[in-house]
Amino acid sequence: MNTDMNSPFLLTYDEWMYKLDQSYVMASAAEVHGIIAGLLSAGVEASPQQILPVLSDFLHDGQALSQDIKQHVISLIESTAKELAQNDFSFSLLLPSDDDSLPERLDAMVEWTQAFLVGFAVQQTDLSLVSDDVREALDQLSEVTRIDIHTTDDGSVEENDEAYFLVLEHIRIMVLACYTEVGQKFGHQTASNKTLH
């Protein structure tokens, strides 16, 4: 179990999953964090008033989150914004610990990336306004969501693990590119009230 007390997420992935489950939120912890990172990277202000309604919309059928989980999510918004703003590659994704099985971790990584793209698209609906670099980063993140986690690979566990960490590192770099180019430039905007249903 990942008991890293310096974890920016305050709770471990399993604790997040338990809390979300208790609050009847049908999303994974990876999806919650992915959407938050996507919104922030697209220039939404790091305020609960901006971000919670979008999370409720996408992850909770538009219902408000329970008080308990809401407090945790607010802390997660704050810590994610702080990590992104440091821009020193300390940014990490909320994913299962390295002790979990590779398929589990891959699954969560794909969910995180899909949620990031959703969060980003809520705010930045016109990609002609963003630079080629950002469009390229978004394309590459879309590629990640197409990883087939159920292909049987002849590679050794170490090789597969190594590939996982390389992709993970790549995602972080792409996310930071989006945040630096768009999040900081358009920062402090209010989330656009367009829901994509």
Q: What CA–CA distance (Å, rounded) separates 44 from 111? A: 21
Q: What is the reported pLDDT for 178? A: 93
Task: State whether residue 44 is helix, strand or coil.
Answer: strand
Question: How many angstroms separate the Cα of 61 from the Cα of each of 44, 82, 173?
Answer: 21, 28, 31
Provide mean pLDDT across the span 89-96: 89
Q: State pLDDT tens for residues 128-144.
A: 888 899 999 999 999 99
Taking CA atoms, 91 is separated from 64, 80, 85, 173, in Å, by 28, 7, 9, 9
Residue type, 82: K
Calculate mean pLDDT across residues 172-189. 83
Residue 93 has pLDDT above 60, yes or no: yes
CA distance 113 to 18: 21
Q: Binning pLDDT at 50, 70 and 90, where does residue 161 land? A: confident
Mean pLDDT calculated for residue range 150-179: 83
The confidence score (pLDDT) of residue 175 equals 95
Q: Does the pLDDT value for residue 104 go beyond 50?
A: yes
Report whether pLDDT(123) > 50: yes
pLDDT of residue 26: 86
Residue indicated by tokens 């990172």: 37
For residue 125, pLDDT beyond 60? yes
Instruction: Please compute the mean of the pLDDT values over residues 107-133 and round it to a whole number.
Output: 91
Average pLDDT over residues 109-128: 91
DSSP-H helix ranges across the chain: 13-22, 29-41, 48-59, 67-86, 102-123, 132-144, 157-178
Is residue 10 left, alpha or beta, with left meaning phi > 0 and alpha meaning psi from -120 to 50? left
**Is it the case that residue 2 has pLDDT exceeding 50?**
no
Quote the pTM value: 0.86
Task: Report whether pLDDT(149) > 80.
Answer: no
Q: CB–CB of 70/52 below 8 Å?
A: yes
